[in-house]
Structure 1
Amino acid sequence: MDPAIVWIDAHGDVQTLETTESGYLGGMALRLLLGYRADLIAEPLGLRPPAPERALLLDARDLDAAEVDYLATAPLRHRTLAELSPGDLPEGPFLLNLDLDTLDPAVLPGLRYPAANGPGESDLLGAVRIIMESGRVAAVNLACTWHDGGPPIAVRERLIASILEATSDRKGE
């Protein structure tokens, strides 16, 4: 079965070179992964992008107008963390991409790209557990950018430890 993607992020990451206002490559990451401008990355590396209908974007509450327009017509599915159910997850193996900026900035201070009104740690960990209990996660990518100094190291260590624990708590294993 073809691979799939579950992408958790406060942002859509579906900008293009034509729509980005910042030029920030991270704002295009999911779109590039799904085959936009395959000549730039996928083809030179010999990669075949997954079909957009095999991707699930979770949270993405901080969207630019171009991203809203794209998501309104794209086969890429978009849900909030609170809406997530096991039936939303793509069939077969998938990559879980988790950008910690999905958390509310009060939970993780110092984020480089904070987005207000995000979920708390327990809501995020609950979603990660639902995803991991599927038994179909083939790889996990953990991402986050923060300003120099960023959140206190104890906050980062505790949060990352909680996420790693949630990603290793698979039922039946």
Structure 2
Amino acid sequence: MILVPYHQDERLADDLLPLTTGVRLIEPALPDGDVWSRMVTLHAAAADAIAAEIRADGDTIVLSGDCLVAMATLAGAQRAGHDPAIVWFDAHGDVHTLESSSSGYLGGLSLRLLQGAHADRLATPLGVRPISENRSVLVGARDLDPAEADFLRTSAIARFGVADLDVAKLPDGPLIVHVDVDVIDPSELPGLLFAAPGGPSAADVLQAVRRILDTNRVVALDVACPWHPTTDPAVQQDRAALIEDLTRAF
């Protein structure tokens, strides 16, 4: 299991990700420079560890503080010899470009980056082959900016709700399953950075993930935890239980 305790290029506090034992911690020295060059260094180190674990065990779990680390997971899977499709659980589309994003938040580009947008920023330096839209599945997205909605209307990305995810319609071959925990309704998981009401329960998300895992085609489970720090023991316990349930399912 790989732990990348970063949000973009910023190291997170040790207690922000509740699982810190039994993991390989990725925290390379990052160079001075802009966020992209720093993430290239971070993702390269993570990709090497991910590739090694997939080669040794056939699969891996990657935990991080944001969705951008999925690029490292894809790089690692490809370095291990796989050509995976992506199943992306998220309350948001994450299909912005630098031009379409009104907020400038880089996490909102995460899925689009995997598909080759702005390849010079991450994919090309990491040697990543982009995933085509027709090998990308977006699950649970309900909080879309207008530009994302416009893009998805004509995109070949398949879309499902969590409850109606049809495993038989997933792309062929190996899979990376990415779970941004904000896909879960914030009433069950308070403190999310970008809470989106009206989502599924944690139990429904876990059930959907397990259905995909049961195909025995998943080479990496990539879990992003973009949430605020908390000192509330109940919230900390809920977060730890969710991570434990996801990792135990794998």
TM-score (norm 1): 0.92
Gaps of 5+ in 2: 1-81
Is the 8 Å Cα contact of residues 14 and 29 (structure 1) preserved in structure 2? yes
**Corresponding residue number in structure 1 for 2:240:** 157
**Corresponding residue number in structure 2 for 1:107:** 188
Instruction: Write out aligned runs for 1:6-155 (5 A).
Output: 6-149=87-230, 152-155=235-238
SS of the counterpart of 2:243?
Answer: helix
Letter in 1 for 2:241: R
Q: What is the number of residues matched between the two proteins?
A: 167
Q: Between the two proteins, what is the percent identity of the paired residues?
A: 48
Q: Which runs of 4+ in 1 moved over 2 A?
A: none
- Partners of 1:2 and 1:47 lie apart in 2 by 10
Letter in 1 for 2:245: S
Letter in 2 for 1:53: N
Is the 8 Å Cα contact of residues 111 and 150 (structure 1) preserved in structure 2? no
Alpha-carbon distance, 1:94 to partner: 1.3
Indicate the larger mover: 74-83 or 5-14. 74-83
- 1:120-169 Cα offsets, whole Å, 9 max, x none, are 011111101111011110111110211221762111111111111222xx
Alpha-carbon distance, 1:41 to partner: 1.4
- Partners of 2:102 and 2:169 lie apart in 1 by 31
Letter in 1 for 2:240: E
SS of the counterpart of 2:110?
Answer: helix
SS of the counterpart of 2:107?
Answer: helix
TM-score (norm 2): 0.64
Letter in 2 for 1:155: D
SS of the counterpart of 1:142?
Answer: strand
SS of the counterpart of 2:140?
Answer: strand
- 1:88-137 Cα offsets, whole Å, 9 max, x none, are 22110011110000000010011110000010011111101111011110
User: What RMSD in Å do the two structures reach over aligned CA positions?
Assistant: 1.3
Q: Do residues 166 (structure 1) and 166 (structure 2) align?
A: no
